[in-house]
Chains A and B, each alone.
Chain A
C-alpha cells in the first residue's frame, strides 16, 4: 500500500515512474461537485495553494449557495503550466459526490475526460462511453480509513489523496498544507486528515492505473519572489493595508464581508481601527469621519449597501474628502442574487449620487490586480482629495489565483494625519489648485478655522448660492479629475494592434476575453484585447486606438439596456462617438466561458467558424480509446 504519510512504511513500493501508463498534460481542469458542507472548497483551496507553491499557474471558480448550510456547491480548479487565464469552460475531471452532482455536472465534462464518482451515493449511466467513468467508494473508504466516530467527515481529503495520486502531485507540499490547515486544531484532526489522504492516495495504484497523469513542469521559474495564492477579497484587503489604510467602517453583506472581517482583525495589529456600524450609511459616515481626521479611510459593501451610501459619497465629492469605497458587485437589482456575479453597478458607481458628482472608478482585472488597484486607489484618493470606488465583483472576490508576491518593502505605505500648521494663505477650497483638507489639530496661521461642508461654498468654505461660485466650484471638482485623467497610462493592449476586432472588457472578464482573443487569432482573424482598469476618468487616446479596428466589441456581464448596449459600451460610445462600438452582454449570473465569447463575437462579426481553436476533447483523452 502506498502510504506516503506513514513513516513506518518506508520507501514507496510503487512510484509513479514505475507505472506503465502515464501521460504528461500541460494543464487540467478539475471540477468538484457536492454539497456546501462537504469541504470541497477546502480541497479546491489545497490544490490551488499547491499549484501556487509549485510555481504553476492556477485559477479557480466556485459557486456557493446563499443558503446558510447545505445546497449544491461546486469548486473548479484549473492548474498547469503556461498562462492560466480562466477557470476553464469544461472540466477534464469531474468528482461527483452525490447523484445530484453527477446529474447536474456530467455535461460539464469534456469528451474523453475522467468522471470520478462516489459509488456509495451515485449510480452512473452504464451506457455513457464518452468519458472514463470510475466509481470509487469514497464515503465507505473514508469511514474505514479514519474510523472512530468521525463518520464520513474527511472524504474531501480522501478525494484530495486520490487526485494527488492521479496527477502525481507533490505529496510533501500537500501534507504540509494539511498540517498548516488543521495544525492549529486538535492533533486528532491532523491525524484523521492524513489517514484519509493516505487512503485516497493508495487507491489508484490498485484500481486506476489506466488514468495516471503528470502535469508539465512550468517552463520557467518566476522571479526571485515566490508565488502567493489567495482569493480576490484577500488580495484587496491586504492591498488596502499596504496602501496605508488603517481606518475604516462597514456593515456585513455578501460577497463584501470577508474584506471587512480581514480588516477588522488585521488593522489593530497596525495600530488602526475598523468599526462595524449599525448600517451602510453609518459606515460611510464613520469612514468619512476617519478621513476628516486625516486618515486614509475605507468603506465598502456590495450593490444594495452601495445604494445606501450614495448620499454620503456625494458629500465626499462636495467636501472633497479622500475616501476609498469598495463595491464587490453581485447580481441586482435590489437583493438580486447575492452569490452571483454581475457587472451592473458601473453606471451607478459613476453617476449614482444626486447632482454633478464626479469621482474616480477603478476596476481590478484579476486577483493579483486587486492588490495593485487598492494601492492606486489610495494614491489617487490622497492626491486628488476625492472618493475612489473600486469595482470588484463576486467572481474575482471568491476565486483563488496564484501570483508573484508583491515587492512589499517597496510598496508599503502609511501616513500620519497631516496636522502641521497651515500658513496665512491657506484656503480650504482654493479655485486655483486641488483641495487639500487641513485635518483638526492643524493650527491655522490666519486664525480662521476651516469648515468641511456639503453645502455649496466659496473658497473659505462659507455657504453660498452664488451662480458664479456654483459654476466655478462644479468646474473645480470636475477639472481635478481631468488632471488625473491626463496622467493615466493607456490601457494595456494585447494581440493585434489594429485589425478586425478589438475586444474590450473590465473586471473579471479579463481571462476569458484574453483566451477568446487567442482562439480567434489562431483562426486567422486579427484581434486585439484591451482590459480597462480606469473606468472613470478614462485614459486619454482611446478614440485613436478604437479607430484602428473594424469592430470594437465590449464584453460585459450586464444587461444590454433599452438601447442595446451594456454599461461600459454605453460610456465608451458617449465618450468616443464611435459607431463601430458594439456590445456583448449577458445576465445569467455566471462568468463568461471562452467559447461563449468566441461564439458571440463570431455572430456579431459574421465570422465563419466559431469553433476555431476550441478544445472539444479532454486533454486526458489521450489515454482513452
Chain B
C-alpha cells in the first residue's frame, strides 16, 4: 500500500468484546435545547438505542448535521461530530466517509436543510451512494426561525411567510429520494419509538447511502401536523409489511422493497401514507468501494510504487 493508510475498517457488527458495551449513559452529552414536547426528543432517544444495539467502538461513530432545530442533534450525542452549514452536511459527510472508510457516519437534519437549501446535495449524494446514514426529522415548518413555510409544508399551511395559506406544491420526500437513486429509503414517525429504532438500525446496516425520514412534530409552530398517523390522536398508523418470500398466498400482498416501482406506488399514497422500508438496493456498489477499486487498480498499474518513486517518475517525464 501507499504511505497513506487509514485504520482498517471495522465491520458494522458487534465490538470486540473487551470493551464494555456502549450505553446510553456514555452516549449522552449536552441536554437538548428543544422545546418541551418536540418530536426530536424521541428521535434522539431512539438513536441512543440504535447505537447501543450496534455497539460500534464509540470513537468510530460520527454524527454531523446542518442547521435547524433538529440539526442541534450532534451536541446531544457523545461521539465525534460536528455542526456544519445549512444544507451542506451531506457533501461534508461524504468527505468524512470517503476519506475514512473505518468510520460510521450519521447525518441529521430537518426538511428545510435536506429538501430546500440542501436539495441538490441530497440528489447527488444519493446518486453517488457513499456509505453513510441520513436521518431527516421532518416537521414541515421552519421552526428555528419561528414558523415560515418549509418545502414539505402542505398546501394551505398558514405561516409567517404565507399567512393566507401556502400554495406552492410541497416536496414528496419518498418520491424525491427514490428518484434520486438513494439505495435505502424508509419512513417513520416520532411517535413510534420501536419503529424508529428498527428503521435507523436497518439504515445503519445498509451498505450505502441510507435515508430515514421521520415525521417529527413541532409542537410550537406546527402542532398536530402528523396526528393523521397517530392512533392516540385518532389517526391511522399503517406500516409496510415486507415480503418474506415464504411462498404463502398472503406474501404476494406484502411489499417487495427491492422493487422500485412498488416503492413509487407506495410513495404516491395520500398523506399520511405508510411507514417502513420503501426501498432497498443491495447490489449497487458504494462510492467508497468504487474509489477503493480505482485506488487498487491504479496502484497495480504503477506496481505499488512508493510516493517518492511516483513523483520522481512524474518529474522525469517533465524533463
Residues of A within 8 A of B (CB): 52-53, 180, 226-230, 234, 238, 241-242, 246-247, 249, 266, 268-273, 275, 277-279, 281-283, 285-295, 297, 311-312, 315, 319, 405-406, 408-409, 412, 414, 416-417, 419, 438-444, 447-455, 462-463
Partner of B82, one of A247, A271, A447, A452: A452
Partner of B59, one of A242, A266, A291, A444: A444
Partner of B78, one of A288, A448, A452: A448
Chain A residues contacting B247 (CB-CB under 8 Å) are none
Chain A residue with minimal CB distance to B123? A278
**Do B88 and A412 touch across chains, with their CB atoms under 8 A apart?**
no
Determine the main DSSP class of B at the interface with A: helix
**Do B307 and A414 touch across chains, with their CB atoms under 8 A apart?**
yes
Number of contacting residues on B, CB 8 A? 62
Any A CB within 8 A of the CB of B94: yes
For the complex of A and B, the 6 pairs showing the least CB-CB separation, nearest first, are: A289-B95, A271-B2, A452-B82, A440-B80, A282-B91, A278-B124
Q: How far is the CA of A53 from the CA of B317 in the complex (A)?
A: 11
**Do A408 and B319 touch across chains, with their CB atoms under 8 A apart?**
no
Supplied contacts A289-B91, A289-B95, A448-B78, 13 more A-B pairs, CB within 8 Å = A52-B319, A238-B311, A238-B314, A241-B307, A241-B311, A275-B94, A282-B120, A289-B96, A405-B319, A414-B4, A440-B96, A440-B100, A447-B78
Partner of B318, one of A229, A289, A419, A447: A229
CB 8 Å contact bits of B87-108 with A (1 = contact, 0 = none): 0110111111111101100000
A-B contact pairs, 23 of them (CB 8 A): A52-B319, A229-B319, A238-B311, A242-B311, A247-B98, A247-B99, A269-B301, A271-B299, A272-B4, A275-B98, A278-B123, A282-B124, A285-B95, A286-B91, A289-B91, A289-B93, A291-B95, A293-B6, A297-B99, A312-B85, A408-B308, A408-B311, A454-B83
**Do B311 and A295 touch across chains, with their CB atoms under 8 A apart?**
no
Chain A residues contacting B123 (CB-CB under 8 Å) are 278
Q: How far is the CA of A455 from the CA of B59 in the complex (A)?
A: 23
List the count of A-B residue pairs having beta carbons below 8 Å apart.
205
Chain B residues contacting A451 (CB-CB under 8 Å) are 74-75, 81-83
**Do A293 and B99 touch across chains, with their CB atoms under 8 A apart?**
yes
Chain A residues contacting B94 (CB-CB under 8 Å) are 275, 286, 289
Residues of B within 8 A of A (CB): 1-7, 26, 29-30, 58-62, 74-75, 78-85, 88-89, 91-100, 102-103, 120-121, 123-124, 291, 294-295, 297-299, 301-302, 305, 307-308, 310-312, 314-315, 317-319
**Do B95 and A249 touch across chains, with their CB atoms under 8 A apart?**
yes
Chain A residues contacting B61 (CB-CB under 8 Å) are 440
Determine the main DSSP class of A at the interface with B: mixed
Chain A residues contacting B93 (CB-CB under 8 Å) are 289
Chain B residues contacting A238 (CB-CB under 8 Å) are 311, 314-315
**Do B99 and A269 touch across chains, with their CB atoms under 8 A apart?**
no
Chain A residue with minimal CB distance to B1? A271
**Do A319 and B91 touch across chains, with their CB atoms under 8 A apart?**
no
Least CB distance from A450 to B in Å reads 7
Least CB distance from B157 to A in Å reads 28
**Do B75 and A230 touch across chains, with their CB atoms under 8 A apart?**
no
Chain A residues contacting B308 (CB-CB under 8 Å) are 408-409, 412
**Do A270 and B310 touch across chains, with their CB atoms under 8 A apart?**
yes
Chain B residues contacting A412 (CB-CB under 8 Å) are 307-308, 311
Least CB distance from B79 to A in Å reads 5
Q: How far is the CA of A607 from the CA of B315 in the complex (A)?
A: 46
Chain A residues contacting B85 (CB-CB under 8 Å) are 285, 311-312, 315, 454
Chain B residues contacting A419 (CB-CB under 8 Å) are 7
A455/B96 contact (C-beta < 8 A), A270-B2, A282-B121, A408-B312 known: no
Q: How far is the CA of A448 from the CA of B2 in the complex (A)?
A: 33
Chain A residues contacting B319 (CB-CB under 8 Å) are 52-53, 226-229, 405
